[in-house]
Chains A and B, each alone.
Chain A
Amino acid sequence: MVTPRAVAESVCDPELPVLTLADLGVLRDVAVHGERVVVTVTPTYSGCPAMDEIRADLVAALDEAGYHRAEVRTVLSPAWTTDWITDDGRRKLAEYGIAPPARRGLVRQGPVPLNLTPPSRLVRCPRCDSPNTTELSHFSSTACKSLHRCADCAEPFEHFKDL
């Protein structure tokens, strides 16, 4: 029988089906109490509508694997950042055509700096690897992505924003 952790880790994100919940880094804990399985997840963005789907998919996947008493809990703290996305997850995003986020490292203390111009951080084109890209919009089809264009291959692409 597959372990509950392995089942939970293999559930895919409903919006980005190339990533498992383990790749995305939203899976915080899988605990077994007798016949009960308690999975703890954390949301990416406050309003991410995929959270409800993720809970339902986890319960359904565990049920199918023989764990009929599964419960999904949410923790908000510590808040998720894109640093929780695994290296494997970053590679899969790039292969799927979405430029992965940079590693942000420790978030500095003090007031949040104001950015009066669009970011100049280098986002490489996931298709031709060119650094010659521009941000078209900081917002895209889902809360977690921004929209870019490559000046070399002329293709538009999405970037998983650093959060």
Chain B
Amino acid sequence: MSFDNAYEAIMEGSDETHWAFGTGFTDALSGVDRAVPSDVDSGDLATYCLMLGDDALVLSQRLSEWCSRAPELEEDVALANIALDLLGQARMLLTRAGEIEGAGRDEDALAYLREEHEFRNVQLSEVDCGPGPGGDFATTIARLLVFSSWRLALSQRLVSSRDPVLAAVAAKAVKELAYQRDHAAQWTIRLGDGTEYSRERMIAGLDRVWPFTDELFTAHPVETRLAAVGVAVDPATLRSEVDGVLDTVLGAASLDRPTVGSLSTVVGRDGAGRGGRDGVHTEAFGYLIAEMQHIARSMPGATW
């Protein structure tokens, strides 16, 4: 059987709704039990879901920028697959956030129609490390190593959250983050323990992302309040576990832990929040969401 083009071949004998590009997205949590524990502040829970959802959404967007531009074909596929896992986690968390908020915003409204200061992701996920100008694959790997090690430790603890949806989303995420972390760790070793040049690049990549790591372990008041009622995890309690993992990987790659300091922008001298969790972002973030939201904003309701 021959076809003039690939699209014709995949459409053969099927109606339009059979294929993903023929339909709009549906509710990512369709039919999931989603009662909020009665003593939990729903505003806090909605914000916490946004925080974890935005972390995944924004890094997913960054990783997908590498698609077709990674150093090798296998890596195009790998980064796109990791981006897809994170997007799936983001969809469930944003759906949950919108539903608890009760203002009629679904996952798409939250992803595409919020302004920059309304995003609650940690700044680490938005760092621009390519593939555009100034981009660097080693930095992308360094960021993925730190992010996945941290999010895996966090998700493992969230599995016993009192919120049934957070616990269920985390249980699925643990398995995905485990191989994402392995992938980043194996690249860190390959580059760090490779040639003199690859080693220099890996060191520079780690130095670039390291200033953003303190934010991962600094509790926002929402996290503190929800951790007290057994729903969230206080991120400060993850530090020694994550440091242990990172030291193991860096040791195997014959690299030292970076000595560059923290950005120290997470909490200001006046005690007010200055981090991504408070909606304060780096310059690069505006460009990221402009690209991510462009179609949805210029063609409202578009599906393909």
A binds B: yes
Using a CB–CB cutoff of 8 Å, the interface residues on chain A facing chain B are 14, 40, 43, 45-50, 52-53, 55-57, 60, 71-81, 111-112, 114-118, 136-141, 143, 147, 161, 163
CB pair A49–B169 under 8 Å, yes or no, is no
Using a CB–CB cutoff of 8 Å, the interface residues on chain B facing chain A are 17-20, 23, 25-26, 29-33, 74, 77-78, 81-82, 84-89, 91-92, 152-153, 156, 164-165, 167-169, 171-176, 178-179, 181-183, 185-186, 189, 241, 245, 248-249, 252
Residues of A within 8 A of B29 (CB): 74, 76
Residues of B within 8 A of A45 (CB): 84-85, 88, 172, 176
Known contacts A53-B18, A77-B167; decide if A47 and B31 are in contact (CB<8 Å): no
Residues of A within 8 A of B82 (CB): 139
Tell me the complex Cα distance, A76–B165, Å: 8
- Could you jot down 26 A-B contacts, CB within 8 Å? A14-B19, A43-B172, A46-B85, A46-B89, A47-B89, A50-B20, A52-B25, A55-B26, A56-B18, A71-B31, A72-B30, A73-B31, A75-B31, A76-B29, A76-B92, A77-B168, A111-B156, A116-B182, A117-B186, A118-B186, A137-B77, A138-B182, A141-B77, A143-B81, A143-B84, A163-B175
For the complex, would chain A's binding face be called helix, strand, loop or mixed by DSSP majority? loop
Tell me the complex Cα distance, A45–B31, Å: 17
Tell me the complex Cα distance, A52–B85, Å: 15
Tell me, rounded to whole Å, the shortest Cβ–Cβ distance linking B200 to chain A.
21
Tell me the complex Cα distance, A139–B245, Å: 23
Tell me, rounded to whole Å, the shortest Cβ–Cβ distance linking B295 to chain A.
18
CB pair B183–A138 under 8 Å, yes or no, is yes
Tell me, rounded to whole Å, the shortest Cβ–Cβ distance linking A44 to chain B.
9
Residues of A within 8 A of B167 (CB): 77
CB pair B78–A138 under 8 Å, yes or no, is yes
Residues of A within 8 A of B74 (CB): 136-137, 139, 147
